[in-house]
Chains A and B, each alone.
Chain A
C-alpha cells in the first residue's frame, strides 16, 4: 500500500515570497491533516479536512496560510507571503477513522516538506 506522498521535500525561499506544498494521502483515507513542526517542538495542527470539507482550522494563520482539498483527495497548503518564523517542516497525514466515532488517533504521515525562509 502506498503511503502518504508529499512534495517538495525541501524548499528555500526568501521572506515575503510564496510557497505551495502538495500532499496525496493514502487511498481511501477520508481525513487529511496538515501539521507544522518547528525544530524541537511537537507537531501543531494547522488544518484538518474530512473529505473536502474543513473540520478544524482554528490554528491556521489565515492571513497568510491557505489550504484546499479539491475532490476530497489531494491537498495543497500555500503560504503567501512567507515570514521567517514559517521555517519548519510541514507534515501531511491521513487517517480513515475520524468521523466514524472510533477514537483511534492513528495517523499515517508523509516524510514532510522542510521549508527554510531566509
Chain B
C-alpha cells in the first residue's frame, strides 16, 4: 500500500541556516504530494504541494520537487528563520484521494 517516510527529528538549526527535510514515498499510480506545517498551538496548514512528476511546489521560501525517479519530495529552504519553528508533515494522496501522512519532523530554529 501507499506509505510516506520522512526523516526523524528533532532538527535544530541556527537562523539563516539551510534546511532539508527528507521525504520518500511508496505509491501505486501517480499520487499528489504535500507538505503540511503545524506551528505551535495551531492547526495543520498546507505549506506546498505538487501534483505530477517534476513539479516544484513553493511557498514562504520553502520548495519541494516531485522526483518520481527517486520517489522523493524533500523540503528545502535556503535560510530559515526563528518563525519557521514548527512540525512539518509530508503526505501523499493516491488515486483514492485518501491522505497518507508521515510521522512529522520537528524543527527548532535558534536565533
Instruction: Give residues in A with beta carbon < 8 Å to B.
Output: 4, 40-43, 45, 56, 91, 93, 98, 103-112
Contact = CB atoms under 8 A, between A and B. Distances in A.
Interface stretch (B12-20, B76-84, B96-104): B96-104
Contacts of B43: 4, 91, 109-112
Main secondary structure of the interface of A (DSSP, over half): loop
Interface string B21-53: 000000000011010000001111110010100
A39 to B, nearest CB: 10
Contacts of A108: 45-46
A50 B90 CA distance: 24
A42 B32 contact: no
19 contacts: A41-B103, A42-B89, A42-B102, A42-B103, A43-B44, A43-B89, A93-B44, A98-B97, A103-B97, A104-B49, A104-B93, A105-B92, A105-B93, A107-B44, A107-B46, A109-B43, A109-B45, A110-B43, A112-B43
